[in-house]
C-alpha cells in the first residue's frame, strides 16, 4: 500500500482537496492519501467545503493536521502545494511540488478553477504511478 501526503501551509484548502480526490479515484487496495500542513489552520476554508460539496465530496469532517517528519517518513510520496522551504526534508522520500493558488478567501468561481486543476493533477498522478 502506497501512502501519498499532500501538503500545503494551512492544510485548509489545496491539500485536503487533493487527498479527497486521490482517495476517491485511486484503488484503495493500492494507495491512499493524507493531507497535512506546515502551519495547520483550525478548519477547512468554507469556500473549499462548498466547491467540493458541488462535486459530491464532503470535507466537513476534515481536520487540518501538522506535517511532521514522522508523518512524512511513513509516506512514499510527498506532494507540496505552496509550503516551499517550510516542508520537512526526508531523505529518500520522493517529492513533487504543484504550484497552485491558495483558495482562501477567493470567490467560489475561482475556487472551482483551483479545484478542477487539483483534480486534473491527481488524475495524472494516479495514471503515472500505475505505470
Q: Is 95 a catalytic residue?
A: no
Q: Which of 4, 7, 8, 49 is catalytic?
A: 8
Q: Which of 87, 100, 111, 114 is catalytic?
A: 87
Q: Is 75 a catalytic residue?
A: no
Cell of 67: 506535517
- Of the candidates 56, 52, 57, 94, the one whose C-alpha atom is nearest the C-alpha of residue 75 is 94
Sign of the dihedral through C-alpha 15, 119, 130, 99: negative
Q: Which of 33, 62, 83, 125 is catalytic?
A: 83
Q: Is 8 a catalytic residue?
A: yes
Q: 122 — phi, psi (to 5°)?
A: -65, -45
Residues with a catalytic annotation lie at: 8, 83, 87
Amino acid at each position: 500500500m502506497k501512502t501519498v501526503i499532500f501538503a500545503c501551509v494551512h492544510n485548509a484548502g489545496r491539500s485536503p482537496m487533493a487527498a479527497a480526490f486521490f482517495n476517491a479515484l485511486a484503488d484503495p487496495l493500492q494507495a491512499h492519501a493524507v493531507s497535512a500542513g506546515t502551519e495547520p489552520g483550525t478548519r477547512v476554508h468554507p469556500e473549499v467545503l462548498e466547491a467540493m460539496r458541488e462535486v459530491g465530496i464532503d470535507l466537513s469532517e476534515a481536520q487540518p493536521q501538522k506535517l511532521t517528519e514522522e508523518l512524512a517518513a511513513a509516506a512514499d510520496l510527498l506532494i507540496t502545494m505552496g509550503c516551499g522551504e517550510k516542508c520537512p526534508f526526508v531523505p529518500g522520500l520522493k517529492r513533487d511540488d504543484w504550484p497552485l493558488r491558495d483558495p482562501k478567501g477567493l470567490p467560489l468561481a475561482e475556487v472551482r478553477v483551483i479545484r478542477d486543476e487539483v483534480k486534473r493533477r491527481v488524475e495524472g498522478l494516479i495514471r503515472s504511478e500505475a505505470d
